């Protein structure tokens, strides 16, 4: 007997709709490997409708005073708390994530981030008005950019949707967002929440729209004539394609792309504490995090002791079912990602050594064992490229100079960490590490008040913080004559 699949739909101009041409794609639960829903495979007609709705809603939303937009966002945050269990269930099914971890590690920061941007809406900053030429007064207006086309990833579909819509709406923009084709469920639920708040408070329905689909749908959104800005969190390849597409009509682009975070461990580090924290930061969310602590550089004098401790920590780290409160992470998100992670392991050079893990786990779903690989060289594929899985690599360095050279010697530049008791060394390293974030004796904490974003092929633009908020605004100079 076949179980009927749940039907997810687009959310356009306050209504849930199927794709105009009726096309759908199956959505698979990565914990089981079985489909549980269908979602629209949206085309140009659907994208046109969503963009038209967002464009029509923009003037009224733009012209609201910030306090009114703040009320909407605060109400959305309240509703997220009220419907937390629904969101948790949707995200767990979306991604196979452990329920307890979604409840403790995702819902609270998401609510906090929405409330942060609600406050940011009322704290726009700019140079003070003044006379910079005799007889004239200049003022600065900071305005919303317009309609924002946003593409969210599959590793944190719910939280990344928040990182995108919250600053955009707070600044006075309207939104058309596309979730990944593998994880649309939680974004569709967010549309239901936001739509109900907009209705209750009497605001235009087209302020927030969700269009489900694949890469082609995303391309249609980015190339559409209506959006003034395109924002994507995804792979380097996807980001480069978005930047190229957006360049055709000079759209603004906001890119948060891949990472290959170096974790530089010096010989004076408390090994036991460092291993515990690094293992958690490397394996959390199955390593599917652009900032994951998966590239460890450890000073040669403590290398063997560190590797042994890390391998033991890996063997004690558990992956498994969503309702098991003892697991640290769930499955990889999809069959292609499982294949990619396996490929990195299969192509390891002869000088590499698998210290722990290295294989798929279980008879169903896309689970992969916590893995440690040592004996690696700087130019090895697994060192240079993002695995995006629960695989931690370890290299041995001799001195601070070599550590910096190897840490910076990749195309990514999102996040990094330094582990040492030497304050001066920590300060030197934080200066020369070419990454958007440098953690010292920790790895992966984020707060709404501080920016998240990288350099080089990790993209440009910031998420979170006042800097992320300002990315969704434009600056206008207004000059008036004092002669009337």
Catalytic residue, candidates 91, 93, 106, 256: 256
- CATH number for position 424: 3.40.309.10
Is 439 part of a structural domain of the chain? yes
Q: Label residue 1 by pLDDT band (50, 70, 90).
A: very low
d(CA 205, CA 239): 29
Structural domains counted in the chain: 2
Q: Do 418 and 471 belong together in one domain?
A: no
What percentage of the chain carries pLDDT values higher than 90? Answer: 98
Q: Do 31 and 89 belong together in one domain?
A: yes
Q: Do 107 and 234 belong together in one domain?
A: yes
Is 430 part of a structural domain of the chain? yes
Q: Do 47 and 180 belong together in one domain?
A: yes
Long-range contacts of 350-359 (CB under 8 A, 24+ apart): 351/375, 351/376, 351/377, 352/376, 352/380, 352/382, 355/307, 355/310, 355/311, 355/314, 355/394, 356/310, 356/311, 356/312, 356/314, 356/315, 357/314, 357/390, 357/391
Q: Label residue 290 by pLDDT band (50, 70, 90).
A: very high
Q: Do 284 and 373 belong together in one domain?
A: yes
List of residues 6+ apart from 345 with CB closer than 8 A: 354, 358, 359, 371, 373, 391
* Side-chain-side CA neighbours of residue 229 (13 Å): 24
Catalytic residue, candidates 212, 290, 386, 437: 290
Q: Do 229 and 290 belong together in one domain?
A: no
pLDDT, position 2 = 52
Query: Do residues 87 and 107 make contact, with C-beta atoms less than 8 angstroms apart?
Result: yes
Q: Do 304 and 204 belong together in one domain?
A: no
How far from 234 is each of 80, 304, 385, 395, 417, CA to CA, in Å? 25, 35, 14, 27, 22
Query: Do residues 189 and 202 make contact, with C-beta atoms less than 8 angstroms apart?
Result: no
Q: Do 199 and 247 belong together in one domain?
A: yes
377-405 confidence digits (pLDDT tens): 999 999 999 999 999 999 999 999 999 99
- Supply the range of the domain harboring residue 342: 262-447
pLDDT at 3 over 80: no
Would residue 256 show up in a list of annotated catalytic residues for this protein? yes
Nearest CA-CA partner of 263 in 219, 284, 231, 293: 293
How far from 411 is each of 236, 278, 373, 376, CA to CA, in Å? 10, 22, 21, 18
446-469 confidence digits (pLDDT tens): 999 999 999 999 999 999 999 999
State the average pLDDT over residues 239-268: 96
Q: Do 180 and 214 belong together in one domain?
A: yes
Q: Do 117 and 239 belong together in one domain?
A: yes
**Backbone dihedral angles phi then psi of residue 176, each to the nearest 5 degrees:** -125, 115
410-434 confidence digits (pLDDT tens): 999 999 999 999 999 999 999 999 9
Is 452 part of a structural domain of the chain? no
pLDDT, position 128 = 85
pLDDT, position 436 = 98
Do strands 353-356 and 371-374 pair parallel, antiparallel, or not at all (unpaired)? antiparallel
pTM score of the predicted model: 0.96
Q: Do 462 and 326 belong together in one domain?
A: no
Is 483 part of a structural domain of the chain? no
């Amino acid at each position: 007997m076949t179980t009927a699949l749940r039907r997810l739909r687009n959310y356009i101009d306050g209504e849930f709709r199927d794709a105009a041409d009726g096309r759908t794609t199956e959505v698979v639960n990565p914990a089981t490997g079985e489909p549980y829903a269908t979602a629209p495979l949206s085309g140009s007609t659907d994208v046109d409708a969503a963009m038209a709705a967002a464009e029509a809603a923009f003037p009224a939303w733009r012209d609201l005073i910030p306090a009114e937009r703040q009320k909407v966002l605060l109400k959305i945050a309240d509703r997220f708390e009220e419907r937390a269990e629904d969101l948790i269930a949707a995200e767990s099914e979306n991604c196979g994530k452990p329920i307890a971890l979604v409840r403790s590690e995702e819902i609270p920061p998401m609510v906090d981030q929405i409330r942060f941007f609600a406050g940011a809406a009322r704290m726009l900053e700019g140079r003070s008005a003044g006379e910079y030429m005799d007889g004239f007064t200049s003022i600065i207006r900071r305005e919303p950019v317009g309609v924002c086309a946003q593409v969210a990833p599959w590793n944190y579909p719910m939280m990344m949707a928040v990182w995108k819509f919250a600053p955009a709406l707070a600044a006075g923009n309207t939104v058309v967002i596309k979730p990944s084709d593998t994880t649309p469920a939680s974004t569709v639920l967010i549309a239901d929440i936001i739509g109900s708040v907009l209705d209750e408070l009497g605001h235009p329905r087209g302020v927030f729209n969700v269009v489900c689909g694949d890469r082609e749908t995303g391309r249609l959104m980015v190339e559409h004539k209506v959006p003034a800005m395109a924002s994507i969190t995804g792979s380097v390849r996807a980001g480069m394609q978005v930047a190229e597409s957006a360049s055709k009509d000079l759209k603004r682009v906001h890119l948060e792309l891949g990472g290959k975070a170096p974790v530089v461990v010096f010989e004076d580090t408390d090994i036991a504490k460092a291993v515990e924290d690094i293992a958690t930061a490397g394996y959390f969310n199955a390593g599917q995090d652009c900032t994951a602590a998966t590239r460890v550089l450890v000073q040669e004098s403590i290398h063997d002791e560190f590797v042994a401790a890390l391998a033991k920590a890996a063997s004690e780290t558990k992956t498994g079912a969503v309702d098991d409160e003892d697991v640290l992470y769930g499955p990889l998100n999809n069959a292609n990602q499982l294949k990619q992670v396996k490929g990195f392991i299969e192509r390891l050079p002869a000088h590499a050594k698998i210290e722990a893990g290295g294989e798929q786990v279980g008879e169903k779903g896309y689970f992969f064992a916590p893995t440690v690989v040592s004996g690696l060289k700087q130019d090895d594929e697994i060192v240079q490229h993002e695995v995006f899985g629960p695989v931690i690599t370890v290299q041995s360095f001799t001195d601070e100079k070599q550590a910096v050279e190897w840490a910076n010697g990749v195309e990514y530049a999102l996040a990094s960490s330094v582990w040492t008791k030497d304050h001066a060394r920590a300060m030197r390293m934080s200066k020369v590490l070419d990454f958007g974030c440098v953690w010292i004796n920790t790895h992966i904490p984020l707060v709404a008040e501080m920016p998240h974003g990288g350099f080089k092929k990790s993209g440009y633009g910031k998420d979170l913080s006042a800097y992320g908020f300002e990315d969704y605004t434009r600056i206008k100079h207004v000059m008036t004559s004092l002669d009337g």
